Structure 1
Amino acid sequence: MPLTSYFSAGEWTSEASTAISVDIVMVVVIGCCLLAWCSDIYRLCPGWGAVRRFDSDGNEDQRARETLLQKEYDRREAAAVESTAAPKLYGSLGAPTWGVLESPNQQESIVDHPVYGQVKVRDGFEATQQLRRDSTWWAKDERYFMEEAKLRRGELVVNERFAKLAGSNI
């Protein structure tokens, strides 16, 4: 069937023919827009490029204010980096409720780790560990210190119904 037979006046009214023509134009316009978008050809138009120059460069007063703002920002940034006098907080608890037992010669330094990025290294932490090991009130890992003292507890039998613990009088 030839193409002209689709637009014959006998099958459609004039309004339907007009609507079909408008639809065809609309599809062609959308196709051109998609072609321009996919090929990035719209960037060749002068108004679509990146802003390379603003309407005005400003004046000397504006430059002076921007310089003062930059200096203030740099000063506050340096003060934030140097403020190591902030209290040490563990998580979101705030001040530790269990007390503090640390060596006075312990210092923190920031190091760039190849895997983890920026990390804190505590120089002199061995002295803190020794203080905590010798302390009578600091919590200790019982299993570790029991193994250090060569103490052993009796082995439990999982399925024994009335197992008695070694050393207990139950």
Structure 2
Amino acid sequence: MTLKETTYKKIYEINYPKVMRLCMGYTGGNDVLAKDLTQETFIKVWKNLDTFRNESGIATWIYRICVNTCLAEIRREKKEEKKLQIDDLQISESSEDPVEKEDMLFQLYKCINQLSSTNKAIILLELEDVPQQEISEIIGIKHDAIRTRIHRIKQQLTKCANHE
């Protein structure tokens, strides 16, 4: 196994779960599409690993590739995009029932999908516990603006999830 292959394998093992969750957020929980986008992200990582310049952390670089891959997919699907019908779901906020919790998660994904592409990227990275400074670098917006946006996005998602 070459050094590049060994390095890539380690990068893949460490970052796959995070990239997959990020893709799940972008696809509204569509497992098949999320797996495709995750695979596409790691193909790009493999092809461009030699060009990584260590100007940021490897995870930041991979997140940027992932976000760009997901945004490109969204642009491709935009033509056939359907309006989301969130009023059809009634969600109990304090339920212990696994089915209702899954419905709540589905509702959250629907609300996230209504955000602008930039806000969607910000909140999905925030949900992945990516430090806000790093989100700032990935998105290309000042750190203070990221903090403000995250607060506003959370308010917006709360209203959406509660059908307000």
Q: TM-score, normalised by structure 1?
A: 0.22
TM-score with structure 2 length normalisation?
Answer: 0.23
Considering fraction of residues, name the structure with more strand: 1
| Bigger relative CO (Cα 8 Å, ≥ 6 apart) | 2
Higher Cα Rg, which structure? 1
